[in-house]
Structure 1
Amino acid sequence: MSIALFVLRRLGRGVFTIWFAVTVTFLLLRLLPGDPALAVASPNMTEETRAALLTQYGLDQPLIIQYFIYLGRLVTGDLGTSFTQSIPVVDVLLQRLPWTLVLTASALVLTVLLGIPLGVLAASRRGKAMDRFVQILGVTGQSLFVPSVGIALLLLFGLWLRWLPIGGAYDDAVYGVAWYGSVLQHLLLPALSLTLIQLGSYVLTVRATLIDALGDDYVTLAKANGLSPRRILWKHALRNALLPATTLIGLQLGFLVGGAVLTETVFAYPGIGRGIYEAVTQLDFPVLQGAFLLLAVTVVVANMLTDIVYGFLDPRVKTA
């Protein structure tokens, strides 16, 4: 299969996935209990004013008409207007997106920086106490629940020890360098929560792939040539073992985005996830649809790029 056809197939699959996510989200939101008209119209309004508002937001149309109107606006980049804030959904998302990007990027970097050394440590001591300890940590990390971890960290470091803030993204009335320090302090607990959730699977993946790499013929040849075990481990075996681990980073981005929704809710962090929680409680359909679309596009693009990069790194994928 040619590289161009390989990329086109991945792009086509990504576009279909985004359309499917948009459609499912649109339909599921309409199944939520409650009347979205209450978010737009006040009980004290006259019937004429209420009807005009519902017409303005398209809530008086049949469901199928609302769906095609939504798709038509979506193609032009119009995500609608927030029911509760009366501003474009794009503006609502742009206000929150930087915080979610900072949170997920921090968690991803921490996962890699901690996961690779722990995976190498376990693989290089296979069958020993350190290896078993790392495996236990990895399996335990995979079984953790995001809100439980967040609440535990919040109680320990925020309420009992009082080392770190328990919510928000920064302190009010703080400026200059102190503002960046405040942002970092507020970021630590949410980022650590996401890292602990993702770290287990990443460590176990690095360990497993590195053990396989250490059993390959080129490692035996390197040993026969007198290379030091440290050089073989870090320069030769780890380089090949990191290919699946690199792919896992892209796949984990989807889990990080999903985990950010829960983490931001626990820590009242003003990102997209917190915005989704607030929009659900207010039945703000346009904000929910825009947020889910943004998350879906992020996950699909990350997985698609990972798939394409893996195809370039490993030509066997393109011919599979």
Structure 2
Amino acid sequence: MRLLRRAGQYVLVLWAAVTLNFALPHLAPGDPVVYLYGGADQSLDEASLAQIRASYGLDRSILEQYVSFWSGLLHGDLGMSVQHNRSVVEVLADKLPWTMALVGISTLLAFVIGTLLGAWAAWRRGTAKETGTVVTVLALDSMPGFWIGMILIAIFSVTLGWFPSYGATTITASGGDWLVEVASRMVLPVATLTIAGTGAFFLMTRASMIGVLEEPYIRLARAKGLGEYRVAVSHALRNAVLPVYTTLTLTVGALLSGAVVVESVFAYPGLGKLIYDAVTARDYPLLQGAFLFATLGIMATNLLADLTYPLLDPRVRRDKPQRAPA
């Protein structure tokens, strides 16, 4: 029953996301066709504009366009990109792997670094080192992603010359050289998103760890003579990390949003850079497809968390509620 309710919630969210995705171009001021083909200074006559509207189906009623949008979506057809003159699905398929690699690696690093650093800060709470760590993490967490990226470019690309500052690879690279190029050009964008995402895991782990350290079973473990390392890792961190796991899905969404700016800073050919270019070019079909892919990705991570969290915490039951005692 719980799974059915959860599935119903996801279906409702999906419907709302698709509906909002459809409505965005229609809510924008002005005629989208005029914007797409030169703005107010375009030289097309009204007959040509009407023909273009008919080719995009914009001459039909909103209800007909909505039904057609859902029909195309169910058949894997998101329309044609005006900017690239290609299928939106093909354009997204070319760019999506780059963003998945960037956000996936950054999320994993932010989770590991933030969790371990937060646990260490909670274990050392009240010391000067813990205070300095909290201040440093809060300072980095308050900085916007593009500013972090610019600082890293200034230090590691311009001053030291260690890493390239733009693109994902070179045209002539192949084989092992291609892998080296991809890895070297991914370092700074990954570092930027990792720094931007570590703060959330750090603060959540630290707060959860401090609460766990006050539990009676921690005092009991110490009374049994267990070493401090075993108490910290096997008893405290193991239970403190459970609430942090739910933060993982929220961080994926935040990093995916931050990738729009970060990829633009580094000219990284991913979904974020594609969204930025589509906005400047007013490529509405491509924007709709990109936003839909991003929404589905965030929903998939939330669904994965819902399905796997009961495996980590036996107290969470997926079956029907227990009956009250007679």
- Conserved 8 A contact 1:141-1:201: no
Displacement, 1:38? Answer: 4.5
Name 1:13's counterpart in structure 2.
Answer: 9
Residue 273 of structure 1: aligned partner: 272
- How far apart are the structure 1 equivalents of 2:68 and 2:169? 39
Matching residue of 2:202: 203
Cα offsets for 1:113-161 (capped at 9, x unmatched): 3122211221111100111112112322332212222222222222233
Question: Is the Cα–Cα contact under 8 Å of residues 25 and 32 in structure 2 kept in the other structure?
Answer: no
Partner of 2:240: 241
Task: Show structure 2 runs of 5+ residues with no match.
Answer: none
- Superposed, 1:1-320 pairs within 5 Å as 5-33=1-29, 35-38=31-34, 43=42, 50-312=49-311, 313-316=313-316
* Deviation, structure 1 residue 48: 5.2
Q: Which moved more, 1:113-122 or 1:195-204?
A: 113-122
Please give the secondary structure, in 2, of the residue aligned with 1:227.
coil
Pairwise CA RMSD? 2.2
* Structure 1 residue 252 displacement after superposition: 1.0
CA deviation after TM superposition for structure 1 residue 58, in Å: 1.1
Q: TM-score, normalised by structure 2?
A: 0.89
- Tell me the amino acid that sits aligned with residue 145 of structure 1: P
Q: Which has the larger displacement, 196-205 or 78-87?
A: 78-87
1:85 counterpart SS class: coil
Shift of the alpha carbon at 1:285?
A: 1.2
Q: Contact 1:272–1:291 at 8 Å: present in 2 too?
A: yes
- Match of 1:127, SS? coil
Larger mean Cα displacement after TM superposition, 105-114 or 87-96? 105-114
Letter aligned with residue 16 of structure 2: F
Shifted more, 60-69 versus 209-218: the winner is 60-69
Contact 1:7 1:308 in 2 (8 A): no
CA contact (8 A) 1:39 1:84 kept: no
1:32 CA drift (Å): 3.4
For residue 212 of structure 1, report the CA deviation from its aligned partner.
1.6
Q: Check the 8 A contact 1:247/1:306 in 2, yes or no.
A: yes
8 Å Cα contact 2:246/2:305 also seen in 1: yes
Q: Is the alpha carbon distance of 1:173 and 1:74 closer, same or farther for their aligned partners in structure 2, counting shifts above 3 Å?
A: same
Mapped to 2, the partners of 1:216 and 1:125 lie a distance apart of: 17
SS state of the match for residue 268, structure 1? Answer: coil
Cα distance in 2 for residues equivalent to 1:34 and 1:104: 35
Counterpart residue type for residue 113 of structure 1: V
Evaluate the alpha carbon distance shift between residue 264 and residue 65 of structure 1 in structure 2; reply closer, same or farther with a 3 A threshold.
Answer: same
- Greater alpha carbon shift after TM alignment, 192-201 vs 20-29: 20-29
Stretch of structure 1 that moved more, 186-195 or 148-157: 148-157
**Per-residue Cα deviation, 1:36-86 (whole angstroms, up to 9, x for no partner):** 324765756676555433212112234443223212221222211112222
Partner-residue secondary structure (3-state), 2:131: helix
Amino acid of the residue matched to residue 315 of structure 2? P
**Counterparts of 1:62 and 1:266, CA distance in 2:** 40
The one-letter code sitting in structure 2 at the alignment partner of 1:94 is A
Please report how far the alpha carbon of residue 223 of structure 1 lies from its aligned counterpart in structure 2 after TM superposition.
1.0
CA distance in 2, matches of 1:33, 1:165: 40
Identity %: 37
C-alpha distance in structure 2 between counterparts of 1:304 and 1:196, whole Å: 26
Contact 1:100 1:272 in 2 (8 A): yes
Q: Quote the offset at 1:98 in angstroms.
A: 0.3
Does the 8 Å CA contact 1:202/1:248 hold for their aligned counterparts? yes
Q: CA–CA distance in 2 between the matches of 1:231 and 1:219? A: 11
Please tell me the residue identity of whatever aligns with 1:204. L
- Indicate if the aligned counterparts of 1:139 and 1:201 stay in contact, CA closer than 8 A: no
- 1:200-231: per-residue Cα shift (whole Å, max 9, x none)? 12111111111222221221111111110111
Residue 194 of structure 1: CA displacement? 0.9
Q: 2:36, 2:282 within 8 Å by CA — same for their partners in 1?
A: no
Give the Cα separation in 2 of the matches to 1:75 and 1:172. 36
2:83 alignment partner, SS class: coil
